[in-house]
């Protein structure tokens, strides 16, 4: 099941419950020095850095 932060209801957007999930994820990503600033030139490189960091976080939680 895919979750969304907001959804469109009658031509307006309504914030869905549990926004803390997104805030928690941004906090986890902010703990990594390389992601704290925008060092990358290409957006694809920055996206890959986030993916690698999330893989590291998931592996740490599994072990």
> What digits encode the pLDDT tens for the residues 7-61?
656 677 666 667 777 788 888 888 887 777 777 788 888 889 889 999 998 899 8
Whether 3 maps to a domain, the answer reads no
CB 53 within 8 A of CB 32: yes
Whether 23 maps to a domain, the answer reads yes
CB 40 within 8 A of CB 46: yes
Number of folded domains that form the chain: 1
Whether 24 maps to a domain, the answer reads yes
Measured distance CA(6)–CA(4) in Å, rounded = 6
Whether 41 maps to a domain, the answer reads yes
Whether 39 maps to a domain, the answer reads yes
- 3-state secondary structure at position 51: helix
Whole-structure pTM value: 0.58
Structure tokens at 34: 């390389």
For 48, the domain range is 19-62
CB 26 within 8 A of CB 32: no
């Amino acid at each position: 099941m895919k979750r969304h932060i907001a959804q469109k209801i009658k031509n307006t957007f309504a914030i869905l419950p549990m926004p803390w999930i997104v805030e928690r994820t941004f906090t986890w990503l902010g703990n990594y020095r390389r992601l704290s600033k925008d060092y990358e030139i290409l957006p694809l490189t920055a996206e890959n850095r986030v993916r690698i960091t999330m893989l590291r976080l998931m592996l740490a939680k599994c072990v």
